[in-house]
């Protein structure tokens, strides 16, 4: 676990927010008044409906509870005292994370990640991780994005200019605020810069214990959205905002340790890739198509996973090769790791990390063969159609729902509940008639 300072003592106002992740990785919660939440974990009652809602608060029919739409009750929610932190740039808005207990623990996203990490621990390994997120800033607010067509929305900057020092200097006040906000929230960054694409910023969260990394990533996304609104802007973590621009990634850096040593590192091996790391990557590739929906959970996610957009199109790996789904990053024992590049910025951090580590652990257990590493572009010419990643949320959901390996790693109840939620999401968007369709077909067809 990270060694950085933690907040101690009660919030002077004895008022703090508690937040729990839903299936979409959105923090749902409320203010809790009158209790010292830093004084040990506490259990409260909280509506189980948040695990049956989609992202627009519609109840998913035939959801996990199998209850009538009006029959949702309360579930036990554990408030995690060690997660308390300030999440506002001005003032002290405190937030504590929480997780579902009891009957709902086996479908709680944080509980699913803990389950996977226990499996790794049973093999004698600890896991460290760090997330990278690309997000886009628009000079808009919740009203203007409703009133104006998308083509009139104004991004923070115009056109692509990745790693721009000029833009970083020009926007130094915004960057200073993001850095200060993250420091105050105990979410240290290892990098912050403009990426290619209008208004696109990339933040690299410093690596730490895997569960803490997912906690930080979940808070970071909500915190950046809230901060942007206080500055009269909107931040989005959509995987693909426009077909004219690159997608927005949510890459995960992962390493495993045993007895205090980096288990992925072998100084005598090709690329310093140890036997264990080879097995781990082999499992990630073997089960990537079956588990894909955990790292690409939305209809929009699959518009990023296309050729020529800095995103993988098939399970592949290479040494320091950014065109691959898994990138082995050679370094000394303190830095040697892999980068899991499947996910977009729209991921639920708990589930995406559970996907990346869970599939890797299966590789250790089954000792599947590792394909040859890719040298050069792992594009269409290197990937036969039969090996392609799922092409839609519908296909990915079907593969996940029918996967014995998914049931083994994540549990049958979670696989059923999450698959139900993703089918609902597919149908909600699939049936919409878009402006593009009207422009293409209205007059001619």
Q: What integer pLDDT is reported at residue 66 of this predicted model?
A: 54
- Whether 291 has a pLDDT exceeding 70, the answer reads yes
Confidence of residue 200 (pLDDT cuts 50, 70, 90): very high
Nearest Cα to 309, choosing from 297, 296, 323, 295? 323
**Cβ-contact 411, 115 below 8 angstroms:** yes
Confidence of residue 399 (pLDDT cuts 50, 70, 90): very high
Q: How would DSSP label each residue in 371-416? A: PPPP-S--SGGGS-GGGPPPSSHHHHHHHHHT-HHHHHHH-HHHHH
What does the radius of gyration of the chain's CA atoms come to, in whole angstroms? Answer: 21
Nearest Cα to 262, choosing from 318, 176, 332? 332
| Each residue's pLDDT tens digit, 219-245 | 999 999 999 999 999 999 999 999 988
Region 265-275: mean pLDDT is: 95
d(Cα 246, Cα 248) in Å, to the nearest integer? 7
- Whether 124 has a pLDDT exceeding 50, the answer reads yes
Helix, strand, coil content of the chain in percent (nearest 5): 40, 20, 40
Q: What integer pLDDT is reported at residue 435 of this predicted model?
A: 87
The angle formed by the CA atoms of residues 157, 162 and 163, to the nearest 5 degrees, is 110
158 CB contacts (<8 Å, ≥6 apart)? 198
Q: What integer pLDDT is reported at residue 34 of this predicted model?
A: 73
Region 279-283: mean pLDDT is: 98
- Whether 3 has a pLDDT exceeding 60, the answer reads no
Region 366-389: mean pLDDT is: 84
How far from 260 is each of 130, 334, 365, 366, CA to CA, in Å? 18, 11, 22, 25
Region 93-109: mean pLDDT is: 94
Region 104-123: mean pLDDT is: 97
- More confidently predicted of 155 and 103: 155
Region 303-322: mean pLDDT is: 92
Q: What integer pLDDT is reported at residue 65 of this predicted model?
A: 52
Q: How would DSSP label each residue in 190-216? A: EEEEE-SSTTEEEEEEPPEEHHHHHHH
Q: Determine how β-strand 27-33 pairs with β-strand 15-21.
A: antiparallel
Rounded to the nearest 10 degrees, the angle between the axes of helix 210-230 and helix 172-184 is 140
Region 276-281: mean pLDDT is: 98
Q: What integer pLDDT is reported at residue 309 of this predicted model?
A: 82
- Whether 10 has a pLDDT exceeding 90, the answer reads no
Confidence of residue 69 (pLDDT cuts 50, 70, 90): low
Confidence of residue 67 (pLDDT cuts 50, 70, 90): low
Nearest Cα to 342, choosing from 310, 370, 372? 310
- Whether 384 has a pLDDT exceeding 80, the answer reads no
Tokens of 13: 């106002």
- Whether 293 has a pLDDT exceeding 90, the answer reads yes
- More confidently predicted of 100 and 70: 100
Please tell me the least confidently modeled range out of 2-6, 356-360, 410-414.
Answer: 2-6
Confidence of residue 308 (pLDDT cuts 50, 70, 90): confident
Q: Average per-residue pLDDT in the chain?
A: 91
Region 40-48: mean pLDDT is: 92
**Cβ-contact 209, 114 below 8 angstroms:** no
Q: What integer pLDDT is reported at residue 9 of this predicted model?
A: 46
Tokens of 333: 């024992």
Q: What integer pLDDT is reported at residue 70 of this predicted model?
A: 54
């Amino acid at each position: 676990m990270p060694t950085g300072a933690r907040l101690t003592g009660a919030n002077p106002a004895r008022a703090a927010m508690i937040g729990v992740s839903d299936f979409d990785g959105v923090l749902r919660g409320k203010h809790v008044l009158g209790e010292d939440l830093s004084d040990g974990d506490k259990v409260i009652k909280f509506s189980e409906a948040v695990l049956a809602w989609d992202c627009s608060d519609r109840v998913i029919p035939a959801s996990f509870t199998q209850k009538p739409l009006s029959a949702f009750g309360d579930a036990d929610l554990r408030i995690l005292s060690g997660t308390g932190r300030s999440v506002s740039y001005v003032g002290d808005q405190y937030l504590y994370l929480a997780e579902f207990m009891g009957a709902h623990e086996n479908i709680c996203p944080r509980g699913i990640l803990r389950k996977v990490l226990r499996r790794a621990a049973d093999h004698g390994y600890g896991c460290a991780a760090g997330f990278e997120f690309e997000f886009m800033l628009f000079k808009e607010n919740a009203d203007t994005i409703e009133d104006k067509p998308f083509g009139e929305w104004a991004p923070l900057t115009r056109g692509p200019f990745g790693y721009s020092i000029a833009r970083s200097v020009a926007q130094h006040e915004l960057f200073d605020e993001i850095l200060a906000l993250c420091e105050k929230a105990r979410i240290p960054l290892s990098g912050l810069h403009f990426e290619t694409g209008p208004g696109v910023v990339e933040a690299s969260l410093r690596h730490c214990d895997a569960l803490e990394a997912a906690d930080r990533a979940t808070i970071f996304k909500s915190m950046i959205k809230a901060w942007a609104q206080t500055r009269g802007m909107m931040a989005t973590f959509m995987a693909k905002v426009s077909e004219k621009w690159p997608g927005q990634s949510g890459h995960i850096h992962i390493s495993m340790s045993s007895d205090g040593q980096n288990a992925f590192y072998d100084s005598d091996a090709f690329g310093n890739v140890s036997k264990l790391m080879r097995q781990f990557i082999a499992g990630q590739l073997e089960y990537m198509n079956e588990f894909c929906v955990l790292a690409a959970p939305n209809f929009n996610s699959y518009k990023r996973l296309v050729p020529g957009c800095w995103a993988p199109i098939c399970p592949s790996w290479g040494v320091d090769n950014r065109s691959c789904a898994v990138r082995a990053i050679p370094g000394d024992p303190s830095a040697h790791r892999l980068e899991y590049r499947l996910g977009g910025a729209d991921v639920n951090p708990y589930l995406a990390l559970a996907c990346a580590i869970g599939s890797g652990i299966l590789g250790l257990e089954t000792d599947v063969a590792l394909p040859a590493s890719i040298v050069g572009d792992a594009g269409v010419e290197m990937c036969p159609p039969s090996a392609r990643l799922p092409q839609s949320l519908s296909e990915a959901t079907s593969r996940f729902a029918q996967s014995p390996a998914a049931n083994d790693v994540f549990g049958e109840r979670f696989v059923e509940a999450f698959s139900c939620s993703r089918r609902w999401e597919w149908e909600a968007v699939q049936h919409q008639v878009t402006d593009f369709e009207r422009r293409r077909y209205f007059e001619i067809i």
